[in-house]
Amino acid sequence: MPGLDKCPELEMLQQFSLGQLSQADSWPLHRHLIRCKLCSQTVNELKEAARLITSASVLADVHPLDPSALVPTIAAIPVSAGVVHTQAPVAASPSPPSTSLETPRGLQESLRPAQLPGELGRLADYRILSLLGTGGMGVVFKAHDIMLDRMVALKVMKPDQITDDIARQRFMAEGRSVASVQHDHVITIYQVGEDNGLPFMAMQFLEGETLDRRIKRQVKLPVPDICRIGREVALGLQAAHDHGLIHRDIKPGNIWLEADTGRAKILDFGLVRSAGDQYQHLTRTGFVMGTPGYMSPEQARGTKVDARSDLFSLGAVLYEMCTGREPFMGTDMMATLMALAMESPPPIRLLNPQIPPALAELVTWLLAKSASDRPRSARVVADSLAKVTGKPAPGPVVTASLSPPSFSKAALNGTISESAPPIRAGASPIWVAGLAVLLFILIAIFLVPSFSVAPNNTIRDKANQEAGASARK
């Protein structure tokens, strides 16, 4: 059957990518795709979008390749605290303290009775003093450790989640996982336990604010702060990765900045998974875990992830600190996921010329779509950030190309240099050619006269003279 004479309409490419064309119609299009690079690229992008939609949509009793069913399905997806889910809310980072917060229904009754004024109740050896924040799975209280006489942040599982075995196991796994990581840039877990039927974990109580609040207040952070915070988060991630743990929800809301030192600490390991877990991307059928604007493309697709997924998220955080905006933005969740899968964010130095080129290149490296194109470890990121200076980048911002820079294999296996090698003066091909022409002209001026040929009349005169001399003889 002959192929197509011209590029088909987008609708036909969409049907082909979804497998809805008949065999008779697919064969000519297939032959066309072999010859047409543009149409082939479009089909690949459409297939990627279909996989992304499938991962982020509720597909119960609906065939994933039925586009008519995807539209109402996507519209029905609930969003809680910016976390993608398909059946039930997942853990979200605690909100800042607020007088308007109320204890979730049923939790107050589940606490043991208060014994002193100012208490909301008691749980194990902790006096519950006030509510700090609430998320999908649990709530966080400010509490007093009676035995050790210190303030703690007490995270308690919601009563309506306790009957969910998967949620309960995930909550307890978070505490045990983080407790195994002892690092200056990871929040400390003091105790994981259960009292009166309520699972809880006692954590380090921190004064300060989240990085999210800092960005909202300052928009674009100073370069030294960006490098310091990014490096400290990278070191904390390396510690978690050394224990075989993947955070899977690195974002400004899960990074705490201490009030006295400004030191960064990673919070909320509610989505943590072991790197060896074959089914780490799901907690139950249909779940895609993470926050849309910060999750890696492989995490958004629901495929297996490794430590480099956290590095992509760290790159998104660095981008936001540099520019004051998320790298991947959309009008809704699906638009954000589409941008995450197929678009490159605007160049950092186009939005903030004060960012050094080395820092901008590092962020672009971290935001590579393929995990194999990112740095091999968080340690490499930390070392690279340590070498970036806080001086404004000299020279104009280059905007001719919006494509990310390419990185050599040497760069992929080490740190990024602060600047490109300097260009030697006088190395321009135009100047070289000009000097060669000038030299040739000078040679012609000074050397040609010594080799000039006598005019014709001189030759004839010489012949006449020789003839006259013979006659006289």
What element of type H or E holds 393?
none
Q: Say which residue the tokens 């605290």 belong to.
A: 81
Starting at the earlier edge strand, list the strands of the sheet with 255-258: 208-210, 255-258, 264-266
- Listing DSSP states for 220-248 in one string gives SPPHHHHHHHHHHHHHHHHHHHHTTEE--
CB 313 within 8 A of CB 251: yes
The conformation of residue 412, written as its DSSP 8-state character, comes to H
- Listing DSSP states for 9-48 in one string gives PHHHHHHHHTT-S-HHHHHHHHHHHHH-HHHHHHHHHHHH
**What does the longest C-alpha to C-alpha distance in the chain come to?**
152
Distance from CA of residue 318 to its chain's centroid?
A: 8
- Listing DSSP states for 146-166 in one string gives TTTTEEEEEEEE-HHHHT-HH
Distant-in-sequence, close-in-space partners of 27: CB < 8 Å, separation ≥ 6? 1
Written as six digits, the tokens of 320 are 């936001």
Query: How far separated are the first and last CA of the chain, in Å rounded?
Result: 102
- Alpha carbon distance 128, 441 (integer Å): 93
Q: Which residues pair with 214 in a beta bridge?
A: none
Catalytic (active-site) positions: 249
- Alpha carbon distance 193, 200 (integer Å): 6
